[in-house]
């Protein structure tokens, strides 16, 4: 019997729809290659959804996501001016993205910082630093910490405006993300970098206690501790020392963008947001409203998110690898899109949809 998977398709804003179209081309080839069936259910989500329906995460979209086997999500967000037209609570980040993460409790965010050796010229780092390529996995806790803590805004008795945001984690929240990270480290090079700030933050003190407890179950995995600010420097100076990194939500938000910088662009970073019951997949970058509709955005991060979904939600590992390989080959042949900064000769600039066509051709070949 043919396996059938329902995928909620949230195109999002800006370049979202155009890079999603390329992801669909890839899904179609995978259907033909593997014999599985994908049932794609499109639903509005983000800034455009707000203007069309009055809600950034409409009920109809929640239903589509609830019923799907996995969610494929494009980038969301508007230009500053457009964003200002929406009440703060309905802006796409607060009104759609964080509620999506909360709804499905997608606590484990995988952000691969991956640049094979032959693409090392995409990195702004000196050739001798990135020679051999970059390949590590950042694992970010995605539903706790400051981003989800209680917030308060008010005026002090002295008449000063103040804010209060809370950073909260309980041990179960910390343990589950660490278990994910140790499992990944065990499957890779058996070295885990634990990123923290225990010299200042109590949350990191508890975090590190749990690291020790979980580590006892993984005697084969070496744990290296690194303070978050030092980790930022180390990432720039020698990214090749890392294989798997794990950290809390805000540290991961910031350092994963640094990871994108190491690659030369966040456009080269897909991601997986894994929950206990449901997972969703999204590019790590924003919606790039400035280049939307021009056909110059690279669909790599969207197609890479498809590759991660094939592997992590559907267990189609060989198909996933084939998608990565296909993209690698397209770049390897010197093709690129105008948005990606890749100094070097022989770059043949093609459009978003041509890039997608090349990937599907490489997959079919």
Q: Residue numbers of the site for ligand IPM (CB under 6 A)?
A: 93, 97, 253, 284
- Name the one range near Mn ion by CB under 5 A: 6-14, 31-39, 147-155, 247-255: 247-255
Residue with nearest beta carbon to ligand IPM: 93
Query: How far lies 41's CA from each of 11, 61, 62, 219, 293, in Å?
Result: 11, 10, 12, 44, 22
The option from ligand IPM, Mn ion, none interacting with 93 (CB < 5 to 8 A, set by class) reads ligand IPM
Question: Closest CB to ligand IPM among 248 and 253?
Answer: 253
Query: Residue 253, interface with Mn ion (CB under 5 A)?
Result: yes
Question: Closest CB to Mn ion among 253 and 311?
Answer: 253
How many residues bind Mn ion, per CB under 5 A? 1
Residues whose CB falls within 8 Å of the CB of residue 202, separated by 6 or more in sequence, listed in order: none
Rounded to a whole number of angstroms, the minimum distance from the CB of residue 97 to ligand IPM is: 5
Query: How far lies 337's CA from each of 61, 158, 268, 351, in Å?
Result: 32, 55, 12, 6
Question: Closest CB to ligand IPM among 302 and 359?
Answer: 302
| Phi and psi torsions of 170, nearest 5° | -105, 170
Residue burial 126-137, b: 16+ Cβ < 10 Å; e: rest: eeebbeeebbbb
Say which of 197, 278, 280, 300 is annotated catalytic.
197
What are the strands, taking DSSP E only, across the chain?
4-10, 37-42, 70-73, 108-115, 134-141, 151-155, 161-165, 191-196, 222-227, 244-247, 270-274, 280-283, 335-336, 348-349
Question: Closest CB to Mn ion among 282 and 319?
Answer: 282
Query: Residue 13, interface with Mn ion (CB under 5 A)?
Result: no
Say which of 39, 52, 229, 290 is annotated catalytic.
229
Query: Residue 282, interface with Mn ion (CB under 5 A)?
Result: no
The option from ligand IPM, Mn ion, none interacting with 135 (CB < 5 to 8 A, set by class) reads none
Residue 257 is a catalytic residue: yes
Q: Which two tokens stand for residue 276?
A: 């206990």
Say which of 5, 50, 114, 147 is annotated catalytic.
147
Residue 197 is a catalytic residue: yes
Residue 253 is a catalytic residue: yes
Residue 39 is a catalytic residue: no
Query: How far lies 365's CA from each of 326, 334, 359, in Å?
Result: 9, 18, 10
Residue 229 is a catalytic residue: yes
Catalytic positions: 147, 197, 229, 253, 257
């Amino acid at each position: 019997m043919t396996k059938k998977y329902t995928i909620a398709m949230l195109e999002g804003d800006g370049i979202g729809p155009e890079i999603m179209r390329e992801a669909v081309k890839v899904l179609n080839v995978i259907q033909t290659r593997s014999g599985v069936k994908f049932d794609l259910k499109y639903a509005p989500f983000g800034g455009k959804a707000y203007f069309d329906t009055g809600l950034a995460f409409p009920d109809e979209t929640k239903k589509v996501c609830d019923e799907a086997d996995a969610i494929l999500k494009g980038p969301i967000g508007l230009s500053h001016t457009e964003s200002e037209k929406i009440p703060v609570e309905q802006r796409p980040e607060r009104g759609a993205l964080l509620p999506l993460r909360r709804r499905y409790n997608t606590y484990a965010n995988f952000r691969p910082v991956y640049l094979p050796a032959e693409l090392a010229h995409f990195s702004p780092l000196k050739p001798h630093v990135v020679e051999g390529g970059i390949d590590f996995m950042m694992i970010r806790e995605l539903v706790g910490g400051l981003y989800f803590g209680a917030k308060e805004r008010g005026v002090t008795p002295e008449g000063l405006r103040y804010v209060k945001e809370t950073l909260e984690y309980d041990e179960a929240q910390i343990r589950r993300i660490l278990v994910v990270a140790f499992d990944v480290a065990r499957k890779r090079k058996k070295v885990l970098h634990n990123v923290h700030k225990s010299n200042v933050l109590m949350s990191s003190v508890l975090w590190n206690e749990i690291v020790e407890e979980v580590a006892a179950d993984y005697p084969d995995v070496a744990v290296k501790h690194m303070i978050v600010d030092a980790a930022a420097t180390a990432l720039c100076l020698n990214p090749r020392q890392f294989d798997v990194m794990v950290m809390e939500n805000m540290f991961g938000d910031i350092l994963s963008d640094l990871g994108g910088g190491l690659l030369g662009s966040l456009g080269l970073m897909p991601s997986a947001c894994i929950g206990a019951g449901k997972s969703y997949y999204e590019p790590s970058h924003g919606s790039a409203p400035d280049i939307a509709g021009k056909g110059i955005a690279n669909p790599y991060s969207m197609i890479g998110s498809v590759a991660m979904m094939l592997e992590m939600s559907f267990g189609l590992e060989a198909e996933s690898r084939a998608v990565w390989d296909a993209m690698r080959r397209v770049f390897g042949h010197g093709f690129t899109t105008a948005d990606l900064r890749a100094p070097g000769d022989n770059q043949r600039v093609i459009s978003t949809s041509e890039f997608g066509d090349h990937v599907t051709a490489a997959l079919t070949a």
